[in-house]
């Protein structure tokens, strides 16, 4: 049985297409899911910081149950957020991409508490250019938000 060169090329095109258009590579999937858990908030409001952070089990890195000082939620759909890692973002060096357009962001700042389940937050809403760490086109880290003043 002979394999034609065109069949091999077609197979490669299908492989690359499925990789870039939706299937998360297994080695990236846990990091992407963690990113979504910590920073994806299409329905987030400033009033529900406490309940969302508690429900999602968001804690300070390096601790078992310490309150996280600040956590930001991107108020957009996952498709628009992911696009920052591709055509809707500008490379910033390394694996970082800055959004070409500002996003609404809810920033939850710790106002009291030391242990998870007793953390109390104050939410602030603003608009920012977001900077994401990306791996093969998938956001895996929220690096920062760059404030966009209303008069710009």
Backbone φ and ψ for 132, nearest 5 degrees, come out as -115, 145
Name the more confident of 21 and 113.
Answer: 113
Banded pLDDT at 117 (limits 50, 70, 90)? confident
pLDDT digits (tens, 9 = 90+) for 10-39: 333 344 433 445 689 999 999 999 999 999
CATH H superfamily, domain 23-147: Ribonuclease A-like domain (3.10.130.10)
Task: Note the pLDDT of residue 21.
Answer: 53
Looking at the chain, the whole-number percentage of residues with pLDDT higher than 70 is 80
Catalytic positions are 39, 141
* Whether residue 41 has pLDDT greater than 70: yes
CA distance linking residue 80 with residue 53, whole number of Å: 22
* CA dihedral of 140, 57, 107, 148, whole degrees rounded to 10: 10
The residue ranges of every structural domain in the chain are: 23-147
Distance CA 18, CA 116 (A): 39
pLDDT tens string 66-89: 899 999 999 999 999 999 999 999
Q: Classify burial at 56, counting beta carbons within 10 Å of its beta carbon; exposed 0-12, middle 13-18, buried 19 or more.
A: middle
Contact 138, 26 (CB under 8 A): no
Can you give the pLDDT at residue 60? 87
Q: Is residue 148 over pLDDT 50?
A: yes
């Amino acid at each position: 049985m002979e394999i034609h060169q065109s069949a091999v090329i077609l197979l490669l095109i299908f492989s690359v297409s499925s990789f870039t258009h939706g299937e998360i590579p297994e080695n990236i999937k846990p990091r992407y899911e963690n990113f979504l858990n910590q920073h994806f908030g299409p329905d987030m409001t400033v009033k529900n910081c406490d309940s969302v952070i508690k429900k999602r089990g968001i804690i300070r890195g390096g601790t078992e149950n310490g309150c996280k000082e600040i956590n930001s939620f991107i108020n957009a759909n996952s498709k628009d957020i992911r696009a920052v890692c591709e055509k809707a973002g500008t490379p910033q060096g390394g694996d970082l991409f800055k959004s070409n357009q500002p996003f609404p962001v809810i920033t939850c700042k710790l106002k009291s508490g030391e242990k998870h389940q007793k953390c109390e937050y104050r939410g602030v809403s603003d608009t920012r250019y977001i900077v994401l760490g990306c791996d093969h086109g998938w956001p895996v880290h929220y690096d920062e938000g760059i404030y966009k003043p209303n008069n710009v």
